[in-house]
Structure 1
Amino acid sequence: MLLRLPTSVSEAQRCLSEGAIPVGGATLQWAVWQRDGFPEQAMSLREVPEANVLGAEELGAAVLLSRVDDRVPEALRGAAARVGTGAVRRAATVGGNIVGSTLRCLLPAALVLDARATALDAQGPYETDLAELTAKRPLLLSLRWRTPLASGHRKLPDAPGGEPPLVVTTAVRDDHVLRVAVRVGYDVSCESVPCATDPAPALEALSRTSLGTLPAEAWDVVREEVTAVLARAAGR
């Protein structure tokens, strides 16, 4: 297998048009290739500047999870810090997690931040939303969002041999909108409601959305996380 390492978006676009298969940290893809056979050529974005951005309102697809730090909101930082083991986080990338993984641990955080994605295909880069990104799974270049007033991430402990653990992620935007994303099993739901300092009206509004059908144990976590994030937003 030939691994191509483009150094620009235009070069990466050319690699795609020539049939190169995108690969991030290969923490998941490697086992599939060992089972099904390796492609003739693969491509990594680790040398492309646009895929390595890391700032208050942007995160590149080639950034290793271990590098996601306090430059990004707590929702993303907390999600990245709780993926797998330290060894996995030192190899896995943002793009591989959101587009290539079935768990997509960073997706709830990206959803509450209302992030937009820049993707790349053989015709060039284009902007898309997270719904299209996860449905069509194009090559992700980067994510961008507006800085929230506050955000948070909570992942419950893994149950041995059970389903993926519950994840609750929250963010309060500067237009006083609360966004809450919940992962139950492999399914992620995200809802938005108006909010103020008092969590009661926001929780009442959330109870009338799809999140209102959550099991009682999951709703208890949502209540705790909403109360906490609204308090942090009010205390800024």
Structure 2
Amino acid sequence: MQLRLPTTLSEAQRYLAEGAVPVGGASLVWALWQRDGFPEQAMSLRQLPEANLIEREALGAAVLLHQVDDRVPDVLRGAASTVGTGAVRRTATVGGNIVGSTLRCLLPAALVLNARATVLDRDGSYETDLAEVVAKRPLLLGLRWRDPVVSGYHKADAEAGGPPPLVVATAVHAEGDGRHRLFVAVRDGYEVTSETTPCDTGAEQVLEALFRTALGSLPVPAREAIRKEVTGILDRLDGR
């Protein structure tokens, strides 16, 4: 297997056209390749500048999970810090987690940030939404978002090897008219549900509005976690 290490977008685009298979951190594909056979060409973005950004409003797909720090919002840092073990976080990448993983631990955090994805195909790079990233699994270059006012992340305790733990991600964004909007994303099992509502009323009114959406059909433990996380983040908003 030949490993391609592009340093420019044009190189990465050319390698894709030649059939190179993206590897991310290889933490997910290596076992499959050992079982099914290795591709002729693979491609890592670890030397591509656009895929290695760590900024307050941007995160590259080639960034290793253990590198996600306080330069990004709390919700994204919390998500990255709870993926697998320390050894996994030192090899797994942002792009591999969102595009290649069935759990997609970073997806709820990206959804509440209202993030947009930059992806690359044989015709070049373009911006798209996370729904397309999940459905089509393109080569992810990175994420961009608008910095939230406050954000938070909750992951329930779970036994290793058991069902995926419940995740509740929250973020409050300032709107142009001075008001605020709450985004909530929940991973229950393998399914992720996200909703949004204005949040300048009291916590109970905000929760009533959320539970009139698809979030209201989630199991009781998920709704209880939503209630706790939403109440907490609105308290933090009031304290600013």
Query: What interval of TM-score do these two structures reach, taking the shorter chain for normalisation?
Result: over 0.9
- Counterpart-to-counterpart distance in 1, 2:14 and 2:100: 21
- Deviation at residue 160 of structure 1 after TM alignment: 4.7
Corresponding residue of 2:132: 132
- TM-score if structure 2 supplies the norm length? 0.97
- Counterpart-to-counterpart distance in 2, 1:195 and 1:115: 20
Are the counterparts in 2 of residues 197 and 231 from structure 1 also a CA contact under 8 Å? no
Are the counterparts in 2 of residues 120 and 138 from structure 1 also a CA contact under 8 Å? yes
Superposed CA deviations along residues 134-165 of structure 1, whole A, max 9, x for unmatched, are 10000000100000010000000113543100
Identity score, percent = 68
- Deviation at residue 86 of structure 1 after TM alignment: 0.3
- Counterpart-to-counterpart distance in 2, 1:16 and 1:213: 42
- Residue 196 (structure 2) pairs with residue 192 (structure 1): yes
- Counterpart-to-counterpart distance in 2, 1:97 and 1:194: 30
- Counterpart-to-counterpart distance in 1, 2:203 and 2:70: 26
- Counterpart-to-counterpart distance in 2, 1:49 and 1:160: 35
Corresponding residue of 1:47: 47
Are the counterparts in 2 of residues 2 and 42 from structure 1 also a CA contact under 8 Å? yes
- Deviation at residue 128 of structure 1 after TM alignment: 0.5
Structure 1 range deviating more: 160-169 or 6-15:
160-169
- Counterpart-to-counterpart distance in 1, 2:138 and 2:97: 13
- Counterpart-to-counterpart distance in 1, 2:235 and 2:47: 41
> Per the alignment, in what secondary structure is the counterpart of residue 19 of structure 1?
coil
> Per the alignment, in what secondary structure is the counterpart of residue 109 of structure 1?
helix
Corresponding residue of 2:216: 212
Unaligned runs of 5+ in 2: none
Unaligned runs of 5+ in 1: none
- TM-score if structure 1 supplies the norm length? 0.98
Gap change, CA 1:44 and 1:161, over 3 Å in 2: closer
Are the counterparts in 2 of residues 78 and 153 from structure 1 also a CA contact under 8 Å? yes
> Alignment length, in residue pairs?
236
Corresponding residue of 2:231: 227
- Counterpart-to-counterpart distance in 1, 2:145 and 2:95: 16
Corresponding residue of 2:171: 171
Q: Which runs of 4+ in 1 moved over 4 A?
A: none
> Per the alignment, in what secondary structure is the counterpart of residue 173 of structure 1?
strand
Corresponding residue of 1:180: 184
- Residue 119 (structure 2) pairs with residue 115 (structure 1): no
